[in-house]
Structure 1
Amino acid sequence: MSSFERYLQDKGKGRGGDGGNYRRNAARELDWFAEWARGDRGDEEWTGIGPPDTDRDPTFGDLDERVFREYARHLAGDRGLKQNTVQTYYAYISAWCGWCVNEGYLDAHYAQRASATAPLPDDDGRKPGDQQAWTSEQRHALTRHVDEQARAAIETYTSLPEDVDPLDRQRARYAALKVARDRALVFVLAYTAVRVGELLRDPDDPRRRGVRWEDISLEDGSMDVYRKKQQWDAASLPDPVISPLRSYRKLMNSPMDRWPVFPTFDQRTLAGLVQEELADRGERPDVIDQRREEYARDLLLALDEDIRPPSITTDGARSILKRLTEATEIDIDHPKHDYLAPHGGRRGMGEVLVRAFGYTVAARYLDNSEEMVRERYSHIEAGELGDVATEALEEIDDVA
């Protein structure tokens, strides 16, 4: 299946088509499809799509609608996937098949023929994992927890006596920085409705390097983010977000504007970064070791030397939220997530905005079309219409 790489380059993001979540996910499923086609996956009786008793990789000549029908059946049954996940995974293979038709590798889009798609389960219209929404109680519990943690750590650091050991002071500052960063991240996710992929670094998309301080104006209450629609745009920073960000930046002691707002605190990453950067500046290894010994953490040395660390990744944000959800002991009732996932903050704000101001205002804040917002939050309108129907029935009953 040598066409896979060319297809993925066409669909990838960034220079050379090497980045993007779609490319990563499609590559995974195309590899799975190739192994299945060769007979490397499936039950013992499955020998692949090539002619029996041959020892060669599958070719385009082996593909027809019966092959895609069998693969749809394999997804729906053998892999134990949920029905919407089956639809999603098959869509990657189907999209590649359509590309092959356009490129002249295949004569027809076999994957979309009715007989090929017949074994697929019905799609209920929901995307896997895309339905969690933080409730007001969950939002308040999480933000209250991180606020208390940050206030306590900052108080501990700022109230240290002047004669305290320098390394102890650094340790207290580092602890305060970490919880202040986590507080700022939680508040931004909870109240801005910005997509986590617009806020943090995506290793598969070089354009998404994470929001920097130069992208934020606390005075104007705005933040420039690289939107899903592939362009820069301003997002609003509502009042609850301003104070945690301002306190956090002050604690960092005004880092350079090109620093990420949410840098990684991973010690191994920072150690390698500090050593490499100081070596590039001409420092000898023994001097670098001595400099590092003067600091309790490499992050603090990086701050003083303006050695810019990378932003945390979207996966890093999920790990932080898992840890904080567990620490807060918040009740989670969701089939996929046992923690408050980042997209749940965005969806929870969508609920608040639709109920308070309607679909048009919510669509502008969420950076979505009104049509999409109406579709995503159709349960709100359904509930309101139900109330109208109930009121109408009560009026009729009163007249009767």
Structure 2
Amino acid sequence: MPDRALSTPLDDSFERYLQDKGKGRGGGGGNYRRNAARELERFAEWAAGDRGADDWTGIADDVGREPTFDDLDERVFREYARHLGGDRGLKQNTVQTYYRYISAWCGWCVNEGYLEAHYAQRASAMAPLPEDDGRKPGDQQAWTSEQRHALTRHVDERARDAVEAYTTLPEDTDPLDKQRARYAALKATRDRALVFVLAYTAVRVGELLRDPNDPRRRGVRWEDLSLDDGSMDVYRKKQQWDAASLPDPVISPLRSYRQLMDPPTERWPVFPTFDQRTLAELVREELAERGERPEAITKRRAEYARDLLLALDVDIRPPSITTDGARSILQRLSEAAEIDIDHPKHDYLAPHGGRRGMGEVLVRAFGYTVAARYLDNSEEMVRERYSHIEAGELGDVATEALEEIDSVPQ
């Protein structure tokens, strides 16, 4: 590692990191950037000795010297974890959240050459962090109605704009430019369809997409969907195939996406990966197996703006995106939509939050029995997971009873 990187003051890296994580022109906006900037400033102050116990002088060997990357190791992050978890009145899951901002910056510094190792993720560094306190609101995220509407509205606008840009191109548009526009429209409509399915079907993300560790979970294919009937066959958590409902809000995004994709066979995944490296390797290997020589393969690929479009034309079936891929997509979309998220574990709308949010809607509207059927869970489990709803309802009953009794003349 260059000595220059080691001697760099910590805060010299902050602006570049925040630009990479921010949104808008120059990476200057976004909730994540704002929160990360706040925590990085606190970390820098602590590292310089401006925060902590009265006898704390910072991490630099020479008192008063500005801390540099050469001063960082896992012991520093261990001390900071201990500092966060000290007697400051912070909840356990809040301490975890604050530390994750610093840990993410540390990982970025490794990739950028400032550090040689991700010290913040080492077990000894994280050991002082408290466990989450187990309180219900912090267990799992649930998309609120406002968040669901904001995200679906955002992806719908993106998809409409991308499709319009593609379908209104002049006839004399360069073929590669036309392919690029189609690819952008495909990606936007795929993202829209994925968000709507996660937001309204309450299907588990592991039932919808590919799990690399379970060959039975290869991701839903077009042959598994019946848009006319409003149903989708998925491999359930209980280790068997079952039909899941596709409510009305999901049908139109799926139809539009399918029409644009025009999959060569029904066995194509509904949500294929768009990862260029994966698709490039797949296309080269499949065309070679079909007898094409390397020179011909290179020439064929050069005729397409993206390997996905070539795969569609010659029916080279790509894999479905993985559950981790869905999380990355939702993280990107949540940031782009600038959705306000206040959760101790997630700074984006996580896939399981869509399912939890629909559970909230169904329990409040139709009760636990109907919700359990839609969520493919036992009523007992649904009652346990959404016990806060029943507690609130019982509280209303108690309030009403007290008001009635208190109003009776004595």
Paired letter, 2:166: Y
Partner SS state of residue 224, structure 1 = strand
Aligned to 1:94: none
Aligned to 1:387: 396
1:1-400 equivalent positions in 2, closer than 5 A = 79-83=127-131, 124=134, 130-400=139-409
The CA deviation at 1:255 is: 3.3
Aligned to 1:31: none
The CA deviation at 1:155 is: 0.5
The CA deviation at 1:77 is: 11
Instruction: Measure, in 2, the Cα distance between the counterparts of 1:377 and 1:126.
Output: 9
Write the deviation string for residues 50-84 of structure 1: whole angstroms up to 9, x where unpaired: xxxxxxxxxxxxxxxxxxxxxxxxx9997235436
Aligned to 2:70: none
Residues 81 and 235 (structure 1), Cα distance of their counterparts in 2 relative to 1, 3 Å cut: farther
State the number of aligned residues: 289
Instruction: Measure, in 2, the Cα distance between the counterparts of 1:284 and 1:130.
Output: 54
The CA deviation at 1:125 is: 7.5
Instruction: Measure, in 2, the Cα distance between the counterparts of 1:221 and 1:325.
Output: 27
Aligned to 1:68: none
Partner SS state of residue 399, structure 1 = coil
Write the deviation string for residues 349-376 of structure 1: whole angstroms up to 9, x where unpaired: 0000000000000000000000000000
Residues 78 and 250 (structure 1), Cα distance of their counterparts in 2 relative to 1, 3 Å cut: closer
Partner SS state of residue 214, structure 2 = coil
Write the deviation string for residues 205-241 of structure 1: whole angstroms up to 9, x where unpaired: 1111111111000011000101111111100000000
The CA deviation at 1:126 is: 5.8
Write the deviation string for residues 124-176 of structure 1: whole angstroms up to 9, x where unpaired: 4869x741100000000000000000000000101111111111110000000
Contact 2:200 2:250 in 1 (8 A): yes
Partner SS state of residue 233, structure 2 = strand
Write the deviation string for residues 98-142 of structure 1: whole angstroms up to 9, x where unpaired: xxxxxxxxxxxxxxxxxxxxxxxxx84869x74110000000000
Instruction: Measure, in 2, the Cα distance between the counterparts of 1:293 and 1:130.
Output: 49
Paired letter, 1:248: Y
Partner SS state of residue 208, structure 1 = strand
Instruction: Measure, in 2, the Cα distance between the counterparts of 1:301 and 1:174.
Output: 11
Instruction: Measure, in 1, the Cα distance between the counterparts of 2:358 and 2:337.
Output: 20
List runs of 5+ in structure 2 lacking aligned partners.
1-74, 76-122
Q: Over aligned residues, Cα RMSD in angstroms?
A: 2.0
Paired letter, 2:299: Q
Instruction: Measure, in 2, the Cα distance between the counterparts of 1:371 and 1:80.
Output: 36
Instruction: Measure, in 1, the Cα distance between the counterparts of 2:290 and 2:125.
Output: 58
The CA deviation at 1:256 is: 1.1
Contact 1:76 1:83 in 2 (8 A): no
Residues 130 and 234 (structure 1), Cα distance of their counterparts in 2 relative to 1, 3 Å cut: farther
The CA deviation at 1:399 is: 1.4
Instruction: Measure, in 1, the Cα distance between the counterparts of 2:295 and 2:177.
Output: 24
Instruction: Measure, in 2, the Cα distance between the counterparts of 1:334 and 1:76.
Output: 26
The CA deviation at 1:318 is: 0.3
Residues 336 and 245 (structure 1), Cα distance of their counterparts in 2 relative to 1, 3 Å cut: same
Aligned to 2:66: none
Instruction: Measure, in 1, the Cα distance between the counterparts of 2:357 and 2:283.
Output: 39
Partner SS state of residue 348, structure 2 = coil
Partner SS state of residue 178, structure 1 = helix
The CA deviation at 1:251 is: 0.2
The CA deviation at 1:294 is: 0.6
Paired letter, 1:321: L
Q: Which has the larger displacement, 361-370 or 203-212?
A: 203-212
Paired letter, 2:222: W
Report the TM-score, using the length of structure 1 for normalisation: 0.70
Partner SS state of residue 232, structure 2 = strand
Instruction: Measure, in 1, the Cα distance between the counterparts of 2:328 and 2:126.
Output: 30
Paired letter, 2:127: R
Write the deviation string for residues 319-344 of structure 1: whole angstroms up to 9, x where unpaired: 00000000111111111100000000
Contact 2:372 2:378 in 1 (8 A): yes
List runs of 5+ in structure 1 lacking aligned partners.
1-41, 43-74, 85-122
Report the TM-score, using the length of structure 2 for normalisation: 0.68
Partner SS state of residue 325, structure 2 = helix
Contact 1:249 1:255 in 2 (8 A): no
Contact 2:263 2:312 in 1 (8 A): no
Instruction: Measure, in 2, the Cα distance between the counterparts of 1:77 and 1:382.
Output: 39
Instruction: Measure, in 1, the Cα distance between the counterparts of 2:126 and 2:302.
Output: 55
Instruction: Measure, in 2, the Cα distance between the counterparts of 1:364 and 1:125.
Output: 26
Instruction: Measure, in 1, the Cα distance between the counterparts of 2:134 and 2:319.
Output: 39
